[in-house]
Structure 1
Amino acid sequence: MQAQEKPDRYVSFKGIECEKNTNQLIAMLRQHLTDPEKSNPFWEKFEQLLKDVESGVSGKDYLFLIHSYINNLEEFFEDVADQEALRLLKKIEVECC
């Protein structure tokens, strides 16, 4: 894909790396959640949802969780001032959700 071309999910998924980006975002989230100061009962429950995705119990994937909780994730990353995660979240929202 040429640099000036933007991927367009309505035309083709070529050049869009939804799975890679969602995995990266979840890894970034987990780095924050290992700090007890940044977690709370909501995020503890969310961690269980992540485990359910990984075990296959939920039948969902990371993208589904990100899409379902995008506002919560955005607020969390704003609260912890993680600009890189916010940029990646926005990219996932635009390209994949």
Structure 2
Amino acid sequence: MEQQCGCRQKPDRYVSFEGIDCAGNARRIMECIDRHLEIPGRNNSFWEYFNKKRSGGSGPKPDDLFLIHCNINQVRELFETWEDEEALHLLEQLEEECC
């Protein structure tokens, strides 16, 4: 999106989703979650439930963006607990641009 001065504006979901890769960013967050849960001691009953929902084990399989949006506080807590600043930044971007 170009302004009259020729500057490129930051993507704004309230104007258009053009230039925003919601599905790709949600997939990257899921990869971050997976990376954390592969480490012994980080998985618990919530994340087992989350993965069951993710696979469609308790109904229709949701897309990654919907599942993250519905559980954003738990995802944020996982990243905060393990001080994953990169994942937190990506989550914040996803929340601002897509949720």
Question: Smaller-chain TM-score range?
Answer: 0.7 to 0.9
- Say whether the 8 Å CA contact 2:29–2:91 is kept in structure 1: yes
Unaligned runs of 5+ in 1: none
The answer for the alignment partner of 2:30 in structure 1 is 26
Structure of greater Rg: 2
Per the normalisation by structure 2, the TM-score is 0.86
- Say whether the 8 Å CA contact 2:54–2:62 is kept in structure 1: no
Unaligned runs of 5+ in 2: none
Cα distance, 1:59 vs. partner?
A: 4.5
Pick aligned residue for 1:36 from 37, 40, 47: 40
Give the 4+ runs in structure 1 shifted more than 6 A: none
SS at match of 2:31: helix
Cα-Cα RMSD: 1.8
The answer for the alignment partner of 2:63 in structure 1 is 61
Larger helix proportion, structure 1 or 2? Answer: 1
CA–CA separation in structure 2 for the residues paired with 1:76 and 1:24: 15
Per the normalisation by structure 1, the TM-score is 0.88
Bigger RCO (CA 8 Å, 6+ sep): 1
